[in-house]
Structure 1
């Protein structure tokens, strides 16, 4: 028997985000421009990303299972996956991503040039999409993300800093706010 079953990357955006959040173990560099190929692994079709760390040259490789149905989200609809919760990133990592994207976006389009407006709009839509990913971890009938949906160090830190942020109603409210603000940049 092989090792752990391959985890599913629901979209290439999710695979790339995972790789970005898992920097080189030798030097900590998060930049990585891998070559990708489709391979068969453990009886499933998989995406394999291989390349060298641009800083220290360490060989890096990531292999993810590919979903049966490929989602091709567009710029106007930045989605990371289908209705299933992520197998790659935990609820806290998705919230961390939403925070990072929204933190840099201007609150209002006035005085912002067209290119920056478009960039802010996509960042806010992507932040809203990341919050939708957090919500996928809330079980039906529950009102918050359960503790077992936080398995990474970063995810647990985000949770420890503000457990109330993982409540369904709060997540929905913030997501809807990001969408509303994004619409102003349209």
Structure 2
């Protein structure tokens, strides 16, 4: 059986799909999802047609060992770190959403909630008793580039300050 990464929640899977565009470069795809059996194992399947070129797209993810119940929006996962996005990609997502906060108050709250949740995901990569996100938590090109640009951003104390700031700006 092929090793597939675990998608802990729908929100996490959709972020991953947005960060992995079609070969034509478009991220515009209306995804349908469901649980299917592949090689005797149940997996979560996301499929849709690229709106840019019409190509059929499909991603298969392993189901988490324990279902993660949503606790607001977005809910990316439980206490364990992501297998889909590395620490640098979560930081990139936080930077992107916090750097483009809309004027509409409700849209601004959602953007800042997304940035806060992405920062929480970065923190999950720090092992107990450590102060920094370890090098092995950066496996993507984008993630390593984000880390290389400013490694001190991945210290626990800085991550907590930024996360708490996004939380406060989002109104809780």
TM range (shorter): over 0.9
1: CA distance between counterparts of 2:7 and 2:113? 20
- Out of 114, 132, 135, which is 2:120 matched to? 132
TM-score by length of 2: 0.93
- Deviation sequence 1:124-161 (CA, Å, 0-9, x none): 12211100000000111111111110011111111111
- Out of 61, 65, 74, which is 1:64 matched to? 61
Q: Note the aligned Cα RMSD (angstroms).
A: 1.6
Q: Report runs of 4+ in structure 1 exceeding 4 Å deviation.
A: none
* CA positional deviation for 1:92: 0.3
Structure 2 runs not aligned, ≥5 long = none
* CA positional deviation for 1:49: 1.1
Structure 1 runs not aligned, ≥5 long = 107-111
- Out of 100, 103, 117, which is 2:99 matched to? 103
2: CA distance between counterparts of 1:133 and 1:37? 25
SS in 2 for 1:175: helix
Residue 83 of structure 1 is matched in structure 2 by: 79
Contact residue 78 and residue 129 of structure 1 kept, 8 A: yes
- Out of 43, 47, 71, which is 2:44 matched to? 47
TM-score by length of 1: 0.86
SS in 2 for 1:80: coil
- Deviation sequence 1:50-93 (CA, Å, 0-9, x none): 1221111222110011224333425x442200000000000000
Aligned: 1:157 with 2:157: no
Residue 19 of structure 2 is matched in structure 1 by: 21
SS in 1 for 2:111: helix
Aligned: 1:147 with 2:135: yes
1: CA distance between counterparts of 2:60 and 2:8? 13
1: CA distance between counterparts of 2:69 and 2:142? 28
